[in-house]
Amino acid sequence: MRACLCLAVLFGAIGSASAEQIKIGILTDLSGPMAFWGQESTVGAQLAQSEINAAGGELELIIEDHQLQPKNALSGLQKLVEINGIDAVYSEFTPTSAAIMPVAASKNIPVIFAAAAVSPLNSSKFALKTFLDYVSGCRSLAEYWKSKGIRRVAILKPTMEFGDICLQGLRQVYPQPIIEEYNVGDDVKTQLLKFKSKGAEAVINATFEPDLRRMFKTMQDINWQPITGSEGDGVSVDQVKLFPRMLEKHTVFTFSDMTESFIAKIVAKSHSHTPPTTSGAALTYLHVKQLYQAVKSCGSRDVSCVVNYVTRSAPDRLLGFEGWRERQATFIIALRTWRNGLQVEQH
């Protein structure tokens, strides 16, 4: 009888600890074309976990590598829900986030997705979007070019939702830009030669890093160096080394600076001497903390409460986070270019 009592106490203690534990799933790219981003965002999530647990919390992260493949993201989500029993999900990139959202909605799972696309919000009332507003970002780039006297502008537009969103912002300043579409991964030589023949002075391509890199390489090959623009995280350290002259004429719309104290924490956590080169680490750090606090306060079963709690998160200096509006995170947008391999801010 005594042994049974001890076992009952033991199992009761385990059940109590288990009930307090919060599980957040991370769906990102760790070994595909955007792995450089996913690896940094993972460090950001782990830093948030360390700080939460050091303060007496109990957060478990389960990280799934989707390699930027929608089918992998779906199978990863199913594992997170059915095997790991997660309370919330943080998902990265447009195609993968769009793929998982209907399933996440059917399972009543709150999801913060980091992507330029807005449409996944329509698939689930428990979804929240984070990342820069591409309408505002592409409009800001266009306004900057207009102030410099640029008259003939072109857009190399991915056949994805974020390409349409960027075009919408561009047209608010240049109503009739030259437009050429491409599929992610395509050779864009034909499109760029058309821009060149039509006298385009500036080209915007707000896309993934591999496609921006391909555009720069093709411009080199055809000996054409117009003014260019993109979203900031599309420019990697490798591009800075490979295309220094191109970047002297390249402007990005991006987040405001990460704080020095945060960068120091990420460098220490990753055991690297190199500061983070994307916003991924700061975004996951910020939103994992928001999700954890929301689930802790509301309980995992009250999903509407979790979503509403997140949307009441206070502004944060990190990345210029201003708050949430209509389930979308809002950020201060900065414009930057490169001088001697270093980013400088444009005004």
pLDDT in tens, 42-68: 999 999 999 999 999 999 999 999 999
* pLDDT classification of 21: cutoffs 50, 70, 90: very high
Q: Say which CATH class 22-132+259-331 falls into.
A: alpha beta
CA-closest candidate to residue 306, choices 324, 290, 294, 292: 294
Q: Which two tokens stand for residue 212?
A: 């921006």
- What's the pLDDT at 343? 74
pLDDT in tens, 324-342: 999 999 999 999 998 877 7
Question: Hey, where are the domains in the chain?
Answer: 22-132+259-331, 134-256+334-346
* 294 pLDDT more than 90: yes
Task: Determine contact, residues 135/168, Cβ cutoff 8 Å.
Answer: yes
Q: What's the rounded mean pLDDT across residues 117-128?
A: 96
Q: What's the whole-number average pLDDT of the chain?
A: 92
Does the domain made of 134-256+334-346 have the CATH classification 3.40.50.2300? yes
The model's pTM is: 0.89
CA-closest candidate to residue 247, choices 275, 212, 200: 212
* 2 pLDDT more than 50: no
* 16 pLDDT more than 70: no
Residues paired with 343 in a beta bridge:
338
* pLDDT classification of 346: cutoffs 50, 70, 90: low
pLDDT in tens, 141-158: 999 999 999 999 999 999
22-132+259-331 with 134-256+334-346: one CATH topology?
yes
pLDDT in tens, 165-190: 999 999 999 999 999 999 999 999 99
Q: What values do phi and psi take at 294, rounded to 5?
A: -70, -45
Q: Return the beta strands (E) in the chain as ranges.
A: 22-28, 59-65, 88-92, 111-114, 127-130, 153-158, 178-182, 202-204, 227-231, 250-255, 321-325, 328-331, 333-339, 342-346
